[in-house]
Amino acid sequence: MKSFLHLPWRAAKPVAEAKAVSGLAILAGEGAAQWSGRSYAALSRTGFMTNPVVYRAVRMIAEAAAAVPWLAYEGEREVVDHPALILLKGPNPRMGGADFLEALYGQLLLSGNAYVEPLLLAGALRELHLLRPDRVSVVEGPDGWPVAYDYRVGSRLRRLPAQGGELSLLHLELFHPLDDNGGFSPLGAAGAALDLHNAAAKWNKALLDNSARPSGALVYQPKEGGNLSPDQYERLRDELEAGYSGAVNAGRPLLLEGGLDWKAMGLSPKDMDFIEAKNGAARDIALAFGVPPMLLGLPGDNTYSNYQEANRAFYRLTVVPLITRTAASLSTWLSAIYPAFDLKPDLDQVPGLAAERDALWTRIGNASFLSDDEKRQAVGY
């Protein structure tokens, strides 16, 4: 039977439908949520390279952590001109110290893993290089522990030993409850919030591009009564799926003929509260990274009374733990080259912690039962 409908699109997949005895109503919309990937490449593209909240959170943490200077010790003695400090200021000809550390922290935050390859000449450590996490795969031995790392660039493959030699590859990782040899990205825990934030932005943009018209239902109510034939019904359903479903087609006007009527059923942006949903997703992303939403300019967060308090919490709860665990890993790793080596962050040089350090010095300075040497040791000297 020839259909009286004339819609210019065709589709292969049906959408949700609702049939009635005396009429027809087809609801246009997508039936299941779609989620982006959780790989390093997917999180980098949909997160850092697309989402402004993720971009700013990662940059804030990486830049703040990379700006903290290091102190080198051999036993209890501080060594100002230690070779490790000189190397960290210029790890390789392509990167300065700040660039190297920012990239290292960024890879940890987006992948949960970071890989540092050493370059030794005549037994001396000359350069440090970062390997992109998505190009590195762990080779496990019979006991499940890593025995090597495969680094692949295009068709070229290099196998780097995990142990043995003077200095092997350093693998930094964040805790992963289900992976013995890999880390878990904070952004992976906020993946649903990331997709929601990105989808809200795309949906609002599509609504604006289509005159901000809401969705609704297409109802068949002919004056003479009756229903659509099965062929007409299937064709109408397929054409609606092809021409009007999805965020790209949000708000597109319908071409209606004989007995078809459009009933607006979509909620307004105010009713759907897209702005609040988007802000809530942004706060979840900030929560996963450990950045107070106040520092990102996100509304609706009153956890901290002022910006200064939020900034102190950011350093104390996020930046300091990150650089402390990194310093511990680097110290253990470099001790194969530099015996009794210990690397520590110089927290006295962190502006965000100045108030806490002042309070510590005052408290220790007023402790009359401590000697001067004990006071110096208590404050980290």
Verify that 377 and 305 share a domain, yes or no. no
pLDDT confidence band for 26 (50 / 70 / 90):
very low
H/E run at residue 220 = strand 216-220
Verify that 364 and 315 share a domain, yes or no. no
Please give the average per-residue pLDDT across 347-361, as a whole number: 80
pLDDT digits (tens, 9 = 90+) for 106-155: 999 999 999 999 998 887 899 999 999 999 999 998 888 899 999 999 89
Verify that 356 and 341 share a domain, yes or no. no
- The whole-chain average pLDDT of the chain stands at 80
Q: What is the CA radius of gyration of the chain?
A: 29
Verify that 375 and 315 share a domain, yes or no. no
Can you give the pLDDT at residue 12?
Answer: 42
Is residue 250, in this structure, part of any structural domain at all?
A: no
List the strands of the sheet with 341-345, edge to edge: 77-78, 70-74, 341-345
Return the DSSP state at 267: P
Is residue 219, in this structure, part of any structural domain at all?
A: no
pLDDT digits (tens, 9 = 90+) for 270-287: 655 677 888 889 999 999
Is residue 192, in this structure, part of any structural domain at all?
A: yes
In percent, the amount of the chain with pLDDT more than 90 equals 41
Work out how many domains the chain is built from and give that number.
2
Verify that 369 and 304 share a domain, yes or no. no
Is residue 115, in this structure, part of any structural domain at all?
A: yes
Residue type, 205: K
Verify that 78 and 142 share a domain, yes or no. yes
Is residue 20, in this structure, part of any structural domain at all?
A: no
More confident residue, 292 or 258: 292
Is the C-alpha dihedral spanning 227, 232, 238, 239 positive or negative?
A: negative
pLDDT confidence band for 232 (50 / 70 / 90):
confident
Verify that 97 and 191 share a domain, yes or no. yes
Is the per-residue pLDDT at 212 higher than 60? no
Range of the domain at 376: 350-381
From the centroid of its chain, how far is CA 272? 26
Of 23-37, 158-172, 353-367, the one with minimum mean pLDDT is 23-37
Is residue 374, in this structure, part of any structural domain at all?
A: yes
Is residue 222, in this structure, part of any structural domain at all?
A: no
**Contacts with 197 (C-beta within 8 Å, 6 or more apart), sequence order:** 51, 53, 278, 281, 282, 285
Verify that 294 and 324 share a domain, yes or no. yes
Please give the average per-residue pLDDT across 197-218, as a whole number: 70
Query: Contact at 8 Å (CB) between 365 and 375?
Result: yes
The reported pTM is 0.75
Is residue 69, in this structure, part of any structural domain at all?
A: yes
CA distances to 84, 143, 153, 350, 351 from 130, in Å: 16, 27, 14, 26, 28
pLDDT digits (tens, 9 = 90+) for 40-91: 888 999 999 999 999 999 999 999 999 999 999 998 888 999 999 999 999 9
Token digits of residue 359: 């309070």
H/E run at residue 70 = strand 70-74
Q: Phi and psi dihedrals of 84, rounded to 5?
A: -65, -40
